[in-house]
C-alpha cells in the first residue's frame, strides 16, 4: 500500500483507474486488519513475547517453572487426560450414532441433525448447571442410581464428573462433523463389494474405514482442541477448584491472590502449541481426504 | 430381516436423542417443580420460578446487556466482513487463501489465551477498555469472524459472480449498482444464517465476559454463574429460558441455510 | 434350455405390489435387455437377481441351482452399476483385483489376471490412477473389467451407459457386445433407451409396472408391438383408435391400430397403389430434420400423423403448409391389443 501511495503523483483523485480501485480494495479491508490485529493478533503476540521474558531478558524460565511445578504438571495432565478420553468417548458414540442416522429414514435424520446442532450450543455454564441438577449430590438421577445401589461413589465435582460432561458436549459436535462423511458413503459401494465377494466386515475394512478415517481423525482432533480449550464448563462446575490448564491460566491473570501474567503466558503458549499441532495435523488430513467424500 | 435391522438403527438414534435430551429435560422439570427434595419426582408443578425470573430487574438488565453487546458485535462484524468478502472474491483472490488460514487462528487460540494478553494490553495504556462493554464487542467480533466469513464465502462461491456482474453490466447497471441490487440480495440468506449461528454462539460466551468485564457489565452468562448459590429452581428457569432462545435461533439458522442452498 | 429362471416372483408392499407372479427365463449366452420407463421395476429385478434386495416370494434359479436366498457373494454374478460404484480409495488395478483378493488367490495370479483384463478394456496405462482421475467412459470400462475379472456366470448391467455422452455411448455399446460375445456371457442389461436395446440385444423384455408387456428379438419387438404402450415406447408409432383407423383406411376397424412413421407414403400426386388404402389429402404441419431422416407432422382431417422419409435429395423436401397425398400400406397397419 505504501508503494502504491508513493507512486501516486499529486492527489488521490487523479490516480489511474486501476490504482484507484486497488486503493478502494485496501480501504475495504482496512477495518478488518485493524480490529483483527488489535484484538486477535496483538494479544497473542503479547502472550508469545512475554512468555519468553524474565525481568526483561529472553529466557525459557517461565516454561521451566511451569513444567517443573507438580501442580502445573497435574493441570496439564488433567487437561490432556480429560480431553483425550472425552474426545474418544464422544467420537465412538458419535460414529455409532452417525452410522445409525445414515441408515435411518431421511425425516428422522433431518430432525435429529437439527436437534444435534441445537444441543451443540448447549455448553458452558448452563450445561454445568443442568448436570448439577441431574447428577449433583441431590440430583434426580443421582438419587435414582443411589436407590438401586449404583454409582455410590460417583462425584460430579471431580475429574470423573468433568469427563462425563465433556463427553456429553462432544457427542452432538461429533455427530455434526462426522455425519456428512457417512452420508457420502454410497450404498452402491457396499452392494458392489458384496457382489465381488467381500463380507460386511471386509467392506468396512477395505473400503468403508479407509474412506472414513480422515473424517474420523479430523473430528477427533477438533473435539480434542475443543475440550482442551474449554474453560466455562469446568469453572462453573466447581468455581475453578478443578486443576485444569485453562483454569490455571485464568487464575494466574484474574485470580484473587497473586497474579503472574508471564507464567500464565507460558502456560497459554503450551496450550496454543498443542492446539496448533492438532490444527496442522487436521489441515494435513483434510488435504489427503479423497475427493469423493468432499 | 431387513425390517429388524432398520428398527435397531432407529433405536440407536432414539437412544442418542434421549441421552442428549436428558439433562435438558431434567432441568426443564426442575424449573417447573415447586420443590424437589430427596425424591425421584417433584412434589408439584408451578410457573413460580419463571415469574420470579422474568420480574427480576438484575436478570432483565443482564439479558438486555447480552442482547446489546451481541447485536452490536454482529453489526460490527457484518459491516467489516461484507466488503472484505467481496474484495477477496472479486479482486484479491490471495486474500481468500489468507483468510482461510487466518480462520484457523481462533481454533488454536482459545479465549482463555486471548484474555491473558487482552488483560495486559487494554487494562491501562492508550486504550483502557477492560471492564467496559467495548472490549466485549471487539472480542465478540474476533469470535464471530470465522462463522461469518465461512457463511459469506460459501454463499458467494455458490454464485456465478462474474456472470451476474457481466449480465448486470450488459443490462446497463454499473458495478456498484450490480453489487447492491444483485449480489447482496443473493447473499442475504447465507448472511442471516451466519448471523444466527454466531449470535447463539456469542450469546453463550462466558470466558471473555467473565475474565475481562465480570460484574462491571454483567452479561447473562456471568449472571447465571453468579446465581450459583441461588435456588436451583430459579437457575433452572434461567437455563431453560436461555436454551429456548438458542433453540429459536438455531431453528431459524437451519431454515435459512436450507433455503440458501 | 433356460439358464436363468425367475419364477412366481412376488415383491413390493402389501398396498403397492410391484411384482405379482412374475416369470422370466433366459437362455445361456444371450444378451437380454430389460427395457421400460423408470419405475417399471427393471432395476429392482436386477437387484433381486443379484441378491442385493431380499426376495419376498418366488424362486430364482441360475445354471440349475436355486440361488433365491444365497448371499450376493455366493451367486457368482458380476454387476456394473449405473454410478459405476468404483471404490474411490482404490486404484484402477486394486478395483479390478478386488474380487480376486477376496478369493485369496496368489498375488502373481491376481496380477496376471488383472493385467490381462485391463488390456482387454484398453486401460493398461491407467492401472495406477484413482477413480477420480478418470473420465466417465474410463470409469465405465473399469467397472466392466471389475465385474468380468472373476469370470461370472451372469453379468448384470444397470443402465451402464446412461451417464455418458452419445459418442462414447455408441463406442462402449460395441465394446460391451464384443466382450459379451467373446466370453459367451449371459447378460441382463437394464435400459430405458429403446435404441440401445434394439441395437444391442439378442432378446428384449419390454416391461411396464412390474409386468412383461412383450418379449422377443429386436425385429419382432420393433415391427409387431402388441399394444399401445409397446407401440409408443419402442418406435415413434402413430397410434390410432378404431374410429380414427377407419377414417384413414376407409375399411371398418374394430381395434386400435399402430403404424410406423416410415411406412407411410407421402407424394405430391394422388397415387393409387395395390395393397394401399385410397390416397388421402394431407397438409404438412411441421418438419424436423433428424439427419438421415426427415420427420413430417401432417394433418389429415382430425388426425395428426408422423411420417418419416429418407433425406435423399435436398430438393425433395416438402415445405410446411404444402398440400400432399398420403397412402397407407394395409400390411403396415398393426392391430393392438386393448
A188 in contact with C at a CB cutoff of 8 Å?
Answer: yes
On whether both C105 and C219 belong to a single domain, the answer is yes
User: Which residue among B16, B102, B116 sits closest to A97, beta carbon to beta carbon?
Assistant: B16
Give chains near B: 3+ CB pairs under 8 A: A
The pLDDT assigned to B250 comes to 75
The pLDDT assigned to B87 comes to 86
In contact, C270 and C277? CB cutoff 8 Å:
no
On whether both C275 and C319 belong to a single domain, the answer is yes
A9 has pLDDT over 60: no
On whether both C242 and C229 belong to a single domain, the answer is no
Mean pLDDT of chain A: 83
On whether both C211 and C310 belong to a single domain, the answer is no
How do the domains of chain B map onto residue ranges? 48-260
The pLDDT assigned to B150 comes to 87
The pLDDT assigned to C60 comes to 92
Q: Last residue of some domain: C216, C233, C250?
A: C233
Tell me the pLDDT tens digit for each residue of C200-229: 899 999 998 888 999 998 888 888 888 888
Tell me the pLDDT tens digit for each residue of A26-57: 888 899 999 999 989 999 999 899 888 888 78
User: Which residue among B20, B118, B200 sits closest to A172, beta carbon to beta carbon?
Assistant: B20
Q: How far apart are CA C337 and CA A134, in angstroms?
A: 73
On whether both C331 and C229 belong to a single domain, the answer is no
Tell me the pLDDT tens digit for each residue of C26-40: 999 999 999 988 888
Q: Last residue of some domain: C170, C204, C233?
A: C233
On whether both C43 and C130 belong to a single domain, the answer is yes
Tell me the pLDDT tens digit for each residue of A242-273: 888 999 888 888 876 678 888 888 899 999 99
CB atoms within 10 A of CB C253: 19
User: Which residue among A194, A202, A293 sits closest to C72, beta carbon to beta carbon?
Assistant: A194
Q: What's the CATH code of the domain at C47?
A: 3.40.50.300
- Model ipTM value: 0.83
A272 in contact with B at a CB cutoff of 8 Å?
Answer: yes
Q: List the single residue in B with minimal CA-CA distance to A98.
A: B13
The pLDDT assigned to A292 comes to 41
Phi-psi region of C70 (alpha: psi -120 to 50; beta: other; left: phi over 0): beta
A191 in contact with C at a CB cutoff of 8 Å?
Answer: yes
Tell me the pLDDT tens digit for each residue of A156-204: 888 888 999 999 999 999 999 899 888 888 888 989 999 998 888 999 9
**Structural domains in chain C (count):** 2
On whether both C170 and C317 belong to a single domain, the answer is no
C259 sits in which H/E element: strand C257-259
What pTM was computed for the model? 0.81
Angle (CA) C304 C309 C311, round 5°: 135
Tell me the pLDDT tens digit for each residue of C234-250: 878 888 888 888 877 77
Query: Three-state SS across chain B?
Result: CHHHHHHHHHHHHHHHHHHHHHHHHHHHHHHHECCCCCCCCCCCECCHHHHHHHCCHHHHHHHHHHHHHHHHHHHHHHHHHHHHHHHHHHCCHHHHHHHHHHCCHHHHCCHHHHHHHHHHHHCCCCCCCCCCHHHHHHHHHHHHHHHHHHHHHHHHHCCCHHHHHHHHHHCCCCHHHHHHHHHHHHHHHHHHHHHHHHHHHHHCCCHHHHHHHHHHHCCHHHHHHHCCCCCHHHHHHHHHHHHHHHHHHHHHHHHHHHHHC
On whether both C168 and C249 belong to a single domain, the answer is no
On whether both C52 and C139 belong to a single domain, the answer is yes
On whether both C219 and C268 belong to a single domain, the answer is no
Q: What's the CATH code of the domain at C253?
A: 2.40.50.100
Mean pLDDT confidence for B124-135? 83
- Domain of C49 in residue numbering reads as 2-233
- Contact flag A43-B30 (C-beta cutoff 8 Å): no
Q: Last residue of some domain: C233, C262, C289?
A: C233
Tell me the residues of chain A between 40 and 99 that have a Cβ less than 8 Å away from chain C.
none
- Contact flag B23-A40 (C-beta cutoff 8 Å): no
Mean pLDDT confidence for A77-87? 93
On whether both C244 and C221 belong to a single domain, the answer is no
CATH architecture observed for domain B48-260:
Orthogonal Bundle (1.10)
Contacts of B2 (CB under 8 A, 6+ apart): C54
Amino acid at each position: 500500500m505504501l508503494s502504491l501511495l508513493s507512486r501516486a503523483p499529486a492527489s488521490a483523485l487523479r490516480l489511474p483507474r486501476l490504482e484507484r480501485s486497488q486503493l478502494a480494495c485496501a480501504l475495504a479491508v482496512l477495518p478488518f486488519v485493524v480490529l483483527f490485529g488489535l484484538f486477535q493478533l496483538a494479544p497473542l503476540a503479547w502472550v508469545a513475547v512475554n512468555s519468553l521474558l524474565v525481568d526483561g531478558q529472553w529466557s525459557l524460565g517461565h516454561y521451566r517453572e511451569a513444567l517443573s511445578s507438580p501442580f502445573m504438571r497435574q493441570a496439564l495432565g488433567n487437561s490432556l487426560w480429560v480431553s483425550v478420553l472425552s474426545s474418544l468417548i464422544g467420537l465412538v458414540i458419535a460414529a455409532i450414532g452417525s452410522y445409525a442416522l445414515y441408515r435411518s429414514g431421511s425425516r428422522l435424520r433431518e430432525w435429529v441433525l437439527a436437534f444435534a446442532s441445537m444441543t451443540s450450543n448447549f455448553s458452558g455454564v448452563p450445561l454445568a448447571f443442568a448436570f448439577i441438577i441431574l447428577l449433583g449430590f441431590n440430583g434426580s438421577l443421582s438419587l435414582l442410581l443411589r436407590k438401586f445401589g449404583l454409582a455410590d461413589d460417583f462425584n460430579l465435582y471431580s475429574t470423573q464428573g468433568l469427563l462425563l460432561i465433556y463427553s456429553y458436549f462432544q457427542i452432538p459436535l461429533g455427530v455434526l462433523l462426522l455425519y456428512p462423511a457417512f452420508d457420502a458413503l454410497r450404498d452402491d459401494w457396499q452392494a458392489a463389494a458384496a457382489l465381488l465377494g467381500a463380507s460386511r466386515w471386509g467392506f468396512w475394512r477395505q473400503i468403508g474405514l479407509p474412506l472414513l478415517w480422515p473424517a474420523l481423525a479430523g473430528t477427533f482432533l477438533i473435539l480434542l482442541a475443543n475440550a482442551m480449550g474449554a474453560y466455562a464448563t469446568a469453572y462453573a462446575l466447581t468455581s475453578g477448584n478443578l486443576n485444569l490448564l485453562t483454569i490455571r491460566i485464568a487464575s494466574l491473570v484474574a485470580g484473587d491472590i497473586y497474579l503472574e501474567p508471564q507464567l500464565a503466558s507460558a502456560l497459554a503458549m503450551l496450550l496454543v502449541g498443542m492446539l496448533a499441532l492438532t490444527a496442522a495435523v487436521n489441515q494435513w488430513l483434510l488435504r489427503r481426504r479423497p475427493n469423493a467424500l468432499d | 430381516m431387513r425390517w429388524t435391522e432398520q428398527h435397531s438403527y432407529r433405536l440407536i438414534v432414539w437412544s442418542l436423542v434421549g441421552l442428549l435430551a436428558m439433562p435438558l429435560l431434567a432441568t426443564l422439570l426442575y424449573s417447573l417443580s415447586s420443590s424437589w427434595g430427596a425424591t425421584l419426582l417433584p412434589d408439584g408443578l408451578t410457573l413460580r420460578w419463571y415469574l420470579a425470573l422474568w420480574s427480576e430487574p438484575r436478570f432483565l438488565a443482564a439479558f438486555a446487556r447480552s442482547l446489546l453487546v451481541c447485536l452490536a458485535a454482529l453489526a460490527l462484524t457484518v459491516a467489516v466482513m461484507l466488503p472484505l468478502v467481496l474484495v477477496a472474491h472479486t479482486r484479491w483472490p490471495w486474500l481468500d487463501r489468507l483468510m482461510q488460514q487466518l480462520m484457523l487462528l481462533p481454533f488454536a487460540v482459545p479465549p482463555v489465551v486471548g484474555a491473558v494478553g487482552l488483560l495486559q494490553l487494554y487494562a491501562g495504556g492508550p486504550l483502557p477498555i477492560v471492564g467496559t462493554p467495548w472490549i466485549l464487542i471487539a472480542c465478540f467480533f474476533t469470535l464471530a469472524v470465522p462463522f461469518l466469513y465461512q457463511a459469506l464465502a460459501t454463499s458467494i462461491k455458490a454464485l456465478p459472480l462474474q456472470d451476474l456482474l457481466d449480465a448486470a453490466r450488459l443490462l446497463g447497471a454499473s458495478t456498484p449498482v450490480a453489487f447492491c441490487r444483485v449480489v447482496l440480495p443473493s447473499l442475504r440468506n447465507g448472511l442471516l444464517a451466519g448471523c444466527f449461528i454466531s449470535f447463539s454462539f456469542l450469546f453463550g460466551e462466558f470466558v471473555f465476559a467473565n475474565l475481562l468485564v465480570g460484574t462491571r457489565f454483567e452479561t447473562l452468562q456471568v449472571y447465571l454463574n453468579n446465581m450459583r448459590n441461588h435456588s436451583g429452581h430459579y437457575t433452572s428457569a434461567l437455563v431453560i429460558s436461555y436454551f429456548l432462545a438458542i433453540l429459536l435461533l438455531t431453528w431459524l439458522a437451519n431454515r435459512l441455510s436450507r433455503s440458501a442452498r | 434350455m433356460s439358464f436363468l429362471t425367475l419364477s412366481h416372483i412376488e415383491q413390493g408392499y402389501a398396498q403397492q405390489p410391484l411384482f405379482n407372479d412374475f416369470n422370466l427365463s433366459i437362455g445361456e449366452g444371450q444378451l437380454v435387455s430389460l427395457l421400460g420407463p423408470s419405475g417399471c421395476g427393471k432395476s429392482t429385478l436386477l437387484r433381486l437377481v443379484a441378491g442385493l434386495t431380499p426376495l419376498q416370494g418366488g424362486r430364482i434359479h441360475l445354471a440349475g441351482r436355486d440361488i433365491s436366498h444365497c448371499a450376493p457373494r455366493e451367486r457368482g454374478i458380476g454387476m456394473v452399476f449405473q454410478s459405476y460404484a468404483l471404490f474411490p480409495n482404490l486404484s484402477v488395478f486394486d478395483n479390478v483385483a478386488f474380487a480376486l483378493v477376496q478369493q485369496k488367490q496368489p498375488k502373481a495370479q491376481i496380477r496376471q489376471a488383472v493385467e490381462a483384463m485391463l488390456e482387454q478394456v484398453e486401460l493398461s496405462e491407467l492401472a495406477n490412477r484413482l477413480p477420480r482421475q478418470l473420465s466417465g467412459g474410463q470409469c465405465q470400462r473399469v467397472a466392466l473389467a471389475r465385474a468380468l475379472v472373476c469370470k461370472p456366470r451372469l453379468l448384470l448391467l444397470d443402465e451402464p451407459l446412461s451417464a455418458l455422452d452419445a459418442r462414447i455411448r455408441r463406442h462402449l455399446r460395441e465394446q460391451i457386445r464384443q466382450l459379451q460375445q467373446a466370453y459367451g456371457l449371459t447378460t441382463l442389461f437394464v435400459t430405458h433407451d429403446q435404441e440401445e436395446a434394439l441395437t444391442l440385444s439378442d432378446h428384449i423384455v419390454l416391461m411396464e409396472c412390474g409386468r412383461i408387456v412383450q418379449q422377443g428379438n429386436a425385429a419382432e419387438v420393433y415391427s409387431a408391438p402388441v399394444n399401445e404402450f409397446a407401440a409408443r415406447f419402442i418406435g415413434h408409432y402413430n397410434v390410432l383408435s378404431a374410429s380414427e383407423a377407419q377414417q384413414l383406411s376407409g375399411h371398418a376397424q374394430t381395434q386400435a391400430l399402430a403404424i410406423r412413421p416410415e411406412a407411410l407414403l407421402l407424394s405430391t400426386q394422388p397415387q393409387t397403389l395395390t395393397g394401399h388404402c385410397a390416397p388421402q389429402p394431407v397438409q404438412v404441419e411441421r418438419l424436423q430434420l433428424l439427419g438421415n431422416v426427415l420427420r413430417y407432422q401432417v394433418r389429415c382431417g382430425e388426425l395428426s400423423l408422423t411420417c418419416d422419409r429418407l433425406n435423399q435429395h435436398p430438393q425433395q423436401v416438402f415445405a410446411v403448409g404444402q398440400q400432399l397425398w398420403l397412402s397407407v400400406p394395409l400390411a403396415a397397419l398393426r392391430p393392438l391389443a386393448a
